[in-house]
Chain A
């Protein structure tokens, strides 16, 4: 649960607000994964969880200084290491 060690692999939706991760790989539908990469979410990039929307979904993240909003269902396909 909350005690995941550093460097552990996890999916993006499980980061806590303020927590950072490095994108390892993107799964899911190829066209959607490509789009996310075009928006700057390429493997090796640091990504930070900012907050979740009032009802818990979608999420706000920053990558390359840009604030993006993703749904949890999309963030689940992005693997990160903390």
Chain B
């Protein structure tokens, strides 16, 4: 049949799986993007937040291959989740990703010695491998001459020189990939005999993993020996009694030969030194002039921090300013879409569900995208250019006082725009405890969704008077931001001493050379992050908004709504448009009050009364679970105002003059306004954040802890503000 038309190479050979591997900053992603073009997918390895990038490409023979971009790694004996994945894939412990048929090992030609360390570890696994020397142009510019043939002879594998960023040498690489590459037959191990004996003893007891390459068994045994009990992936791969044996053997080695952990490393570097001596001629004095010049300014004692803060200020400002037009555009498109749907469909529950539930939910998800995309654009440029490592270098000491690493600064700063991209940005923090602590405190930074609420309450309750050079509303707003930061510092300190305590992790970080960022790497990354957010968090946001739509809209007809409905019918009949509008606003208010959300608002009144809040605020707290700024429009509905916003003078007046129907006194005081703002600073109300925390921590434990912790703190703080304030007679 038509099968016969297919080229024999296509059908007879299974698709080859090729993995790109190397140290961080070797240029793996650039090569990956060059080889695959836009044919790539980003997913996750199961159970961890390590990105799995795959793509496909066609070789000169017409054969298609599947390409896997493994995360950057320094060693087969891992120190981060990224490195655990690399080890598990290469040793055949990762069930969803078997060891690749061919490895493209990418090294930075200007830092050959260090990059060959992992290369040698991987060569010894006995898999087919091509050594790809990247940045040959930079090596040449520095006067480094590398004898590729000699290197190929010493290592027993094909060696190709390329400049991935310029696309040089890729044709040659593709042709080599088309050949049948044989694994290196050379052995480089110089493991001391006492270590070998122990490894052999352990090896006999190890379970057989079907995917594990035969020559990887020693490395598996060594991994068990080196494990300090924190490596969950390893713990799953061997029975407990073997793990226990490995621990006993390691302790015995510690006594017999205290330096055994390092002996193996020293041996490998000695081998590398010999190989490099034979193949590479470097000038005696190597200087990277661009690095020297830039670092003299960027990490300067005084200029460095100033430039850093200016840059951060500009970035923060841009995330706010540039995202706004796009967010407004999305808002108006979503509004138009909602308008179109309501004009095409008859009024009724289905129309309401689509407009106020589904379209509103999709709209909320979409409005996050400009901020996420712009923030990641900045972060990727900073990362790709090499500046990010300098930022962490500058900030580490300051952040260290709070118990966080320098890398936590940018995610936390971003959280002032929105905690969601901020939490997603914590992926640049490689230590798990530091990363989780940062995630847990990020939502305390006052995000842009709180601003409308602050603006409404300050406008309503804080008198516009001057205090020295500042205005009282300005001071109040600043205090709210400051409160969030101070509480975050406290919570981080407590978490680092309790749930997330542990030895201070190794900080060691590479300061890479500066290079011009490449759009080819940056833009796909920004796109992938945004799509990932839509796919994973979007569903939760949509579900939340449909739920809240239901709670806020049902039951529609209640005894309380009947007279207003009759009034509306009468007004429609008489054709009095003013009366119709008034009746509609009243009906919305009555319906909301008697809806499930309204009932919950009333039901929680006893809980929030000690904070000074009544059931109307209660309803606002319920509906703000969809997004905090919804509080403002809910208050407008509750006060029969229709579509008012935080700038609306009538809504401010309503809040100021609202009367408690039971006492006949003023319902809200400035003190209640402050108490409510404090609540908004500290409470975890944003279900989108909860969804992202669930995603980024891969467990429900942290989002639940976050909900409980933040809301308890919010309640206690508001309680203290209101009760102490009332006792002192402040702002009543």
Binding site for B on A (CB under 8 A): 26, 29-40, 42-43, 45, 51, 53-58, 60, 64-71, 73-74
Contact = CB atoms under 8 A, between A and B. Distances in A.
Given A53-B299, A65-B286, A38 B74 contact: yes
A67 B262 contact: no
A65 B111 contact: yes
A56 to B, nearest CB: 7
A70 B77 CA distance: 20
A71 B304 contact: no
A44 B400 CA distance: 31
Contact of A42 (B111, B266, B508): B266
A38 B226 contact: no
Contact of B511 (A33, A42, A60, A71): A60
A80 B68 CA distance: 41
Given A64-B114, A65-B286, A68-B511, 5 more contacts: A30-B254, A38-B265, A40-B117, A54-B301, A71-B507
B508 A74 contact: yes
A32 B226 CA distance: 11
B51 interface: no
17 contacts: A26-B262, A32-B506, A34-B261, A36-B508, A38-B117, A40-B117, A42-B265, A45-B269, A53-B393, A54-B394, A54-B397, A60-B511, A65-B113, A68-B509, A69-B389, A69-B392, A74-B508
B8 interface: no
B553 interface: no
B510 A54 contact: no
A57 B507 CA distance: 12
Q: Which one of A29, A36, A37, A51 has the highest number of Cβ atoms from chain B below 10 Å of its Cβ?
A: A37
B511 A57 contact: no
Interface of B: 74-75, 77, 79, 110-111, 113-114, 117, 226, 228, 254, 261-262, 265-266, 269, 286, 291, 295, 299-302, 304-305, 389, 392-394, 396-398, 400, 503-504, 506-512
Contacts, number: 109
Contacts of B111: 64-66
Interface of chain B, helix or strand or loop or mixed? helix
B262 A71 contact: no
A7 to B, nearest CB: 22
A38 B79 CA distance: 11
A69 B511 contact: yes
Contact of A31 (B226, B302, B389, B397): B226
Contact of A69 (B74, B77, B508): B508
A69 B114 contact: no
Contacts of B291: 67
Nearest to A50: B295
Contacts of B302: 54
B511 A56 contact: no
A54 to B, nearest CB: 5
Indicate the member of A51, A56, A67 with the most B CB atoms within 10 Å.
Answer: A67
Contacts of B392: 69
Contacts of B295: 51, 60
Nearest to A53: B393
Which 3 pairs from chain A and chain B are nearest by CB? A55-B397, A67-B511, A37-B265
Nearest to B397: A55
Nearest to B266: A42
Nearest to B291: A67
Contacts of A32: 506
A20 to B, nearest CB: 13
B506 A74 contact: yes
A60 B299 contact: yes
Contact of A40 (B113, B300, B305): B113
Given A26-B262, A54-B299, A68-B510, A73 B504 contact: yes
